Amino acid sequence: MAPIHRTFTRRALALLIAAGVFGCDKTDAPSTAAERMQGKTNQDSSSHGSVDDDLSRRWREESLRYVSSVNALVERGMKDGWENAGNEPEDTRQPMAEAVIAAVRHANEARDFDGLRQKFPPAHIPFIELLEENGQSIPKAILLDDGRVVLRIGAPYEQGYVAIIDDLTFERLSADVITIGRSPNRRYFAIARKSGITIHDGWNGPVTTELRWPTGQEGIPEGFDIIAADGPPTVTRLIPFPQGDRALLVSSEGVFVLAEQGPVRILPTTARMREHFEWSKKEHPDDPPSYSLSMEHGAISPDGSLIATGDQDSLHLVFDAKTLKVVGEIGNRSEYPHFACFSSDGKMIAFNSCHFYNGVSIGVPTRLLPGLKTEPYEPDDRVVELEDSARVYAAVCRGDEFIVGDAHGYLRAFDTKGHFRWQHFIGSTVGDIDVGRDGKRLVVTTYAGFVSFIDLDTSEADPFIIGTATHKERRRWLFWKNEKTPLVW
């Protein structure tokens, strides 16, 4: 990665932190924000048009000024160096935020969306003060081939629900559905319920496999007892294998391969649990043995032969999906392993490790497996440095391109050799990403409760978008806690 890109990335992130990009971390939102927002909808309908016109004019003007100033700053910084880029611009739109949301709400009540996005181009930073009460996690998004999107609403540890949306419609699935998942080849879908998991051949297709939840007793070292769980674990990720016969379950209780003959734990390993339990027995003799993971993650290769996984206390690990034996132990370049993703052709695994809101992503060629071992923090010529700033929360691949979503609300793209391609700002922290089969459509969720539909490579830059590419957002949904229904924008 070129030095100027590294300088640009870190400086740009610092500017966005100072501007208050972290909507979900804001703690000083007015306690009456929800009431004031709702009150905006009660304005006299006879004056609604003229008020909207003036608000739209000011919103568009100030949006254009701010976005163009940020993009110009980025261009200067990348070309001439940040010491010559100048000062960051000020975003002056926040005083209009509640009125703009009221206009969006009014359009939804009237089911009149013509020109809504043109009048009020979506943004993130102006709404930060409203997100403390309204924002929520959307940790899973699946873009179906017919254009609909299946979503898990609510953090994994919350009750939440699953819904399907398209451009303008919203439908909640049965309340017993906990979460969903899809295989790397896009064919098989997992539906999780309290009673267990079913794998389907196609969305709403026939059931190919029924799987049971782990009890938590799998892989427990001899001499220690753990009480069996009386329900499903907290599901971080659920991924069917591309053959439709098994699934990878990633949870804070452990990482498991689920099969008809029963679940098998692969993380934490039995040896790691034994070491922890022996320490716990010595230091806390009255506490029952227990173990939980943080930053747990996992991915399956396109052909289903490899599993990439890890957690805060592990290395980057690769398992043979058939034998469930470790075939690669790769040292994390930053502090804590945080995410993993396979390239489209399965020839590279991108591993991300993080420290606070930043991180480093490295590429591991799968041809070096089995037997690859590298040391933490140490550069290795066999491993490619792909990106050196992002804490990755979600990722997809498109051809030879990785597209990652980070803690700062950016989509960042780079190729398998670590060459920067583009970046596109959404805001908040990215929850999940999915790309269409044709590589032309992207759906992105955030911790602010946003769902964005993005058309990729349109050949014309959107003047209201902060970014370096020609991608255009064509629809945004707001899944906000204090709204009666999700809002179309």
The Cβ-side half-sphere exposure at 2, using a 13 Å CA radius, reads 10
The partner residues of 200 in beta bridges, in order of sequence, read 189, 207
Report the relative pairing of strands 372-373 and 326-330 from DSSP bridges. Answer: parallel
Closest CA to 243 of 304, 193, 332, 324: 304
Averaged pLDDT score across all residues of the chain: 91
Res 48: pLDDT: 57
CA proximity to 444, closest of 481, 405, 472 = 405
In this predicted structure, what is the pLDDT of residue 52?
86
Cis peptide bond N-terminal to 221, omega within 30: no
- CA–CA distance, 63 with 89 (Å, rounded to integer): 12
Domain ranges of the chain: 3-127
Task: Report the pLDDT value the prediction gives residue 5, as an integer from 0 to 100.
Answer: 29
For residue 342, what are the contacts with CB-CB under 8 A and spacing of at least 6? 184, 299, 300, 301, 302, 306, 308, 348, 349, 350, 397
User: Which residues of the chain are under the pLDDT cut of 70?
Assistant: 1-49, 51
pTM reported for the whole predicted model: 0.90
